[in-house]
Amino acid sequence: MLNHQQLYADYKQHLQKIADIRYSAAVLQWDQETYMPSGAAAIRAQQVATLTALAHEEATSTVLGDWLQQLKEVKELTIQEQKNIALSLYDYEKQKKYSNAFVKKLSQVTSTAFQSWVAARKQNDFTIFEKDLDTIIQLKLQEADLLGYEQHPYDALLNDYDRGATVADNDLYFATLKEELTPLLKHIQERPPINDDFLKQNYPKQEQWDLGMELLGLMGYDLHTGRQDIAAHPFTINFGNTDVRITTRIDEQDLTNMLFSTIHEGGHALYEQGLLSENYGLPLGEYSSIVVHESQSRLWENNIGKSLPFWEFYFPKLKARFPNQLQKINVTPFYKAINKVAASFIRNEADEITYHFHVLIRYEIEKALLSKQITAKDIPAVWNEKYKHYLGLTVPNNALGCLQDVHWSHGSFGYFSTYSKGTAMAAQLYATFLIDNQSAKEKVTEKEMWKLLSWLRVNLHTFGKYYNTEELCKHISGEGLNVQYLMNYLKNKFLDIYK
Amino acid sequence: MLNHQQLYADYKQHLQKIADIRYSAAVLQWDQETYMPSGAAAIRAQQVATLTALAHEEATSTVLGDWLQQLKEVKELTIQEQKNIALSLYDYEKQKKYSNAFVKKLSQVTSTAFQSWVAARKQNDFTIFEKDLDTIIQLKLQEADLLGYEQHPYDALLNDYDRGATVADNDLYFATLKEELTPLLKHIQERPPINDDFLKQNYPKQEQWDLGMELLGLMGYDLHTGRQDIAAHPFTINFGNTDVRITTRIDEQDLTNMLFSTIHEGGHALYEQGLLSENYGLPLGEYSSIVVHESQSRLWENNIGKSLPFWEFYFPKLKARFPNQLQKINVTPFYKAINKVAASFIRNEADEITYHFHVLIRYEIEKALLSKQITAKDIPAVWNEKYKHYLGLTVPNNALGCLQDVHWSHGSFGYFSTYSKGTAMAAQLYATFLIDNQSAKEKVTEKEMWKLLSWLRVNLHTFGKYYNTEELCKHISGEGLNVQYLMNYLKNKFLDIYK
């Protein structure tokens, strides 16, 4: 074996070891959310922390740094190998910027903050969470300084969820969105409301579960390398691409809750199952960015799961499963009901239009916090003012307002905008797919779904982290992320529904 | 903090880190046996191997060795702290005897051997397994040399499962057992057979599951720090004493399969739940030996679960659960049926008498192998000859013979005798318990079971590894492990059943 081949093999083995440790921690977390007895919580937190610290040690070890510096200069590596090295080096240098003291401090604060957020939300009292949140914001500002940025401290954090994203780009993105969706929402609000009462009947648990499993099967989710369980919050988690699990929750008085969360998580899971085993542990074996991940879940949830062509195919089967509940309903009123637009307080229950305002509000607040224009204590007032301004809603309490999301207690600043941008990317991807797959405009059956999955596998999944969000959009559709695809999609769809 | 206190704190933290890693690997193993999708097997094996190697590195690190050497000399430590240090040092020095090359080799061979054992058993062809088994035996002989022994290489291996056990002691133990059980078995075989047909009816799965959960509750198994799942083979596994899980399997055509395996695993689990949280990761937070562990499972399974006083209490409830199946049955015939003695081929389905011959046969074969009197290829013939000799059975094939147990493929030589000795210890413990708890001779209700559990907690569980098997027996009953307790118990019980 040549020297550089041995070097690359050593590097690969080291990264796979790190992956083994990180995925092991993920198994412990999955177990924690699904089957772990409650008395195990304290020791489990310690076990996860030990594995996380071990992975961090290995990811910042001097020997890895040396190998990466040497491999960076090796011209004989393949393009893919070179990309792995470049991405690993980038990650290594980034990780090295974090002192152990900082990592420990952030870990301690977010651990406490999660508890205080839970209590604050339960007791509907923001002040319980305020002090911890303030500490987290201070640490995130320190983190931005420590990571470095060109224009805005928020850039350093956005980059964590979407390589290369900046406040400048996001401002432009949200400006277009705001400009175009505001009149669209106004138009919709002036139309007569859609009836969706029949979605809120009793839909028994087992039947809903079976429906979810059938849909996952239709999408191409592989149970040989995956499984679904019940958990308090739906999520996707994976331990390599041969074990990609999702969870769901079932509300017997609401069909759509399980329905769209299962399709959403299924979309995430298909992405992870589509990564290449041969790249296990390497950057090219990982997802590109959170925006891209979200594009996959939102594509299946919205562009397929909330589309008329899909329900033209699937509604008869749904009706056969729930003959009493849907007795008098045809496909069109069903399609309209699942797409009903109505301003509401909770982001993750929002329709396809108002959803983006929920995200926009969080983006604006995070930006203001990281620009030091406001501090933690100002959040409730600013939040409520923005909900009034953008959605015309008077927030009745903080539990339905600024305490609804877990993200800030985790220290995840910069995450929210990926929800909107992922949705925009989904629209762009699906428009591109439709160019060569016109039949899917009429009806989406198993056949069209298999075509879509194959197309995503070939054009997106198998690339892993090779491209970032912008590059991936260009590779697939010939241009970077363009919000106009989403605007066109939403206008066409909702001007038709709300004629 | 004084210097030695800091040193002890460092030592403790290091051991807790090792425990975190080992228990994490155990979570992965539990998941593998219960919920893991089958496609994840290869990557999962690698993840477990990585964690195991990390734990081994930490357990043999130079810094740990230095601390232990220093702490060994510190007189200010408490008795318990000194015991932890002594046991850790013993373990450290033992672990250091294994070269990385040896550990790797054994791990590779057992991994291959497990596969070839599965294939051999399935195809009923010993030769598929023979070569790997031979390699394992050679490695176990090497291991004995490397660990050192005074009289017999087998001593070094027995010690792994029962600190201080020797061939000399085991020979004496099995000689008594053989001498006393042979005439007892002969007597029983001359009596008319017991009818147990009614145990082999249809007992529906959900009802059996509910029965198992009720029994576990009666025993005092705490679901706040435990849970039960279905798996191919019943086992107990724990990730600290706040998360102790068991599995069971249900055969709808056989009530006793689930019944006694659930009680058995429940006994193991009660022991782990009874260890002290404050000793997490330290020797005193671990079980004493496999013999002691087996004494706990066998005590609940046999001395309680197969006793007349227990069924005097519980049979009406069982009958209420299965009114059709047990319509015509009263407690006495039920008690006799679950205690039916009949020589059979499979160890883990054996009754309380013949069970010990199954173990004895394995012990004699292991001893012969490690004395180099026989080799792997001789096993089938020797096995079949011994089954003829001790149990009067003609083994029809190796799947029902020497291929039935997984242990040798794992490299577990020295394990089997703990099954018998643990059962003997259970008899000794229970006889001691009864001295001050005479009412349990008549009837065993919730009250007696709670008393028993408390008694075991106080006298045995909370000591962890403080005492070895012999010392623990002495501490509790005033004498070392004495097989006569088992002999008396079996004679009293079975001479009464087979009057």
Q: pLDDT, tens digit, for every residue of B327-367?
A: 999 999 999 999 999 999 999 889 999 999 999 999 999 99
**Quick one: average pLDDT of B92-104?**
90
pLDDT of residue B6: 95
Task: Look at residue A60 and tell me whether its pLDDT is greater than 80.
Answer: yes
Tens-digit pLDDT profile for residues A343-401 = 999 998 899 999 999 999 999 999 999 999 999 999 999 999 999 999 999 999 999 99
pLDDT of residue A104: 82
pLDDT of residue B1: 62
ipTM associated with this complex? 0.93
State the best of B242, B276, B278 to mutate against chain A, taking most chain A CBs within 10 Å: B242
Answer whether A284's CB lies under 8 Å from A463's CB: yes
**Quick one: average pLDDT of A466-492?**
97
Average pLDDT over chain A reads 96
The neighbour count for residue A5, using CB atoms within 10 Å, is 13
Interatomic CA distance for residues A362 and A390, integer angstroms? 12
pLDDT of residue B480: 96
The neighbour count for residue B125, using CB atoms within 10 Å, is 15
pLDDT of residue A214: 98
Token couple for B181: 């059980």
Interatomic CA distance for residues A105 and A91, integer angstroms? 21
B338 to chain A, closest Cα gap in Å:
33
> CB-based contacts of B365: which residues, under 8 Å, 6+ apart?
B374, B379, B382, B383, B386
Q: What pairs with residue B230 in β-bridges?
A: B248
pLDDT of residue B90: 96
Answer whether A241's CB lies under 8 Å from A258's CB: no
Please tell me the least confidently modeled range out of A281-295, B1-15, B383-397, B449-463.
B1-15
Alpha carbon distances (Å) from B279 to A93, A99, B87, B132, B160: 39, 31, 13, 39, 21
**Element containing residue B248 per DSSP (H, E):** strand B244-248
Among B47, B226, B245, the residue with its CB nearest the CB of A20 is B47
pLDDT of residue B302: 98
* Sign of the dihedral through C-alpha A360, A366, A372, A376: positive
Interatomic CA distance for residues A69 and A84, integer angstroms? 13
> CB-based contacts of A479: which residues, under 8 Å, 6+ apart?
A473
Q: Which residue of B has its CA nearest to A18?
A: B50
Answer whether B370's CB lies under 8 Å from B152's CB: yes
Displacement of CA B355 from its chain's centroid (Å): 14
Residues in A touching B229 (Cβ below 8 Å): 35
Among B31, B54, B223, the residue with its CB nearest the CB of A27 is B31
What does residue B212 show for φ and ψ, rounded to 5 degrees? -60, -45
Interatomic CA distance for residues B417 and B427, integer angstroms? 16
Interface of A with B (CB under 8 A): 16-17, 20-21, 23-25, 27-28, 31, 35-40, 42-44, 46-47, 50-51, 54, 222-227, 229, 239-240, 242-243, 245, 280
Tens-digit pLDDT profile for residues A486-497 = 999 999 999 999
Tens-digit pLDDT profile for residues A89-143 = 999 999 999 988 898 888 888 888 988 999 999 999 999 999 999 999 999 999 9
Task: Look at residue B411 and tell me whether its pLDDT is greater than 70.
Answer: yes
The neighbour count for residue A447, using CB atoms within 10 Å, is 12
Tens-digit pLDDT profile for residues A198-228 = 999 999 999 999 999 999 999 999 999 999 9
**Quick one: average pLDDT of A308-316?**
98
Interatomic CA distance for residues B163 and B155, integer angstroms? 10
Question: Where do the DSSP E strands lie in A236-324?
Answer: 236-238, 244-248
Mode of pairing for the β-strands spanning A244-248 and B236-238: unpaired
Taking an 8 Å cut-off on Cβ atoms, the answer to whether A37 and B229 are in contact is no
DSSP A403-434: TS-SGGGGT--S-HHHHHHHHHHHHHHHHHHH
Tens-digit pLDDT profile for residues B110-165 = 888 988 999 999 999 999 999 999 999 999 999 999 999 999 999 999 999 999 99
pLDDT of residue A115: 87
How many CA atoms lie within 13 Å of B412's alpha carbon, on the beta-carbon side?
14
Average pLDDT over chain B reads 96
Interatomic CA distance for residues B371 and B369, integer angstroms? 5
Question: What share of chain A has pLDDT > 70, as a percent?
Answer: 100
Q: What pairs with residue A230 in β-bridges?
A: A248
Using 50, 70 and 90 to split pLDDT, how confident is the model at A1?
low
Answer whether B461's CB lies under 8 Å from B472's CB: no
Answer whether B114's CB lies under 8 Å from B406's CB: yes
pLDDT of residue A99: 85
A66 to chain B, closest Cα gap in Å:
22
Residue A234: which of A218, A214, A216, A219 has the closest Cα? A216
Residues in A touching B280 (Cβ below 8 Å): 43
Interface of B with A (CB under 8 A): 16-17, 20-21, 23-25, 27-28, 31, 35-40, 42-44, 46-47, 50-51, 54, 222-227, 229, 239-240, 242-243, 245, 280
Tens-digit pLDDT profile for residues B151-194 = 999 999 999 999 999 999 999 999 999 999 999 999 999 999 99
Q: To which residue do tokens 């762009």 refer?
A: A428
Answer whether B419's CB lies under 8 Å from B264's CB: no
Per the annotation, the verdict on B265 as an active-site residue is yes
Task: Look at residue B263 and tell me whether its pLDDT is greater than 90.
Answer: yes
* Sign of the dihedral through C-alpha B358, B361, B365, B370: positive
Task: Look at residue A2 and tell me whether its pLDDT is greater than 80.
Answer: no
**Quick one: average pLDDT of B225-236?**
94
**Quick one: average pLDDT of A278-293?**
98
Higher pLDDT, A189 or A107: A189
Among A24, A222, A245, the residue with its CB nearest the CB of B28 is A24
Taking an 8 Å cut-off on Cβ atoms, the answer to whether A40 and B240 are in contact is yes
Q: Which residue of A has its CA nearest to B18?
A: A50
Task: Look at residue B317 and tell me whether its pLDDT is greater than 80.
Answer: yes
**Quick one: average pLDDT of A190-197?**
96
Taking an 8 Å cut-off on Cβ atoms, the answer to whether B40 and A242 are in contact is yes
Catalytic annotation, pick one of B143, B265, B352, B366 = B265
Question: Where do the DSSP E strands lie in A234-356?
Answer: 236-238, 244-248
**Quick one: average pLDDT of B258-272?**
98
Task: Look at residue B2 and tell me whether its pLDDT is greater than 90.
Answer: no
DSSP A445-477: -HHHHHHHHHHHHHHTGGGTTSS-HHHHHHHHH
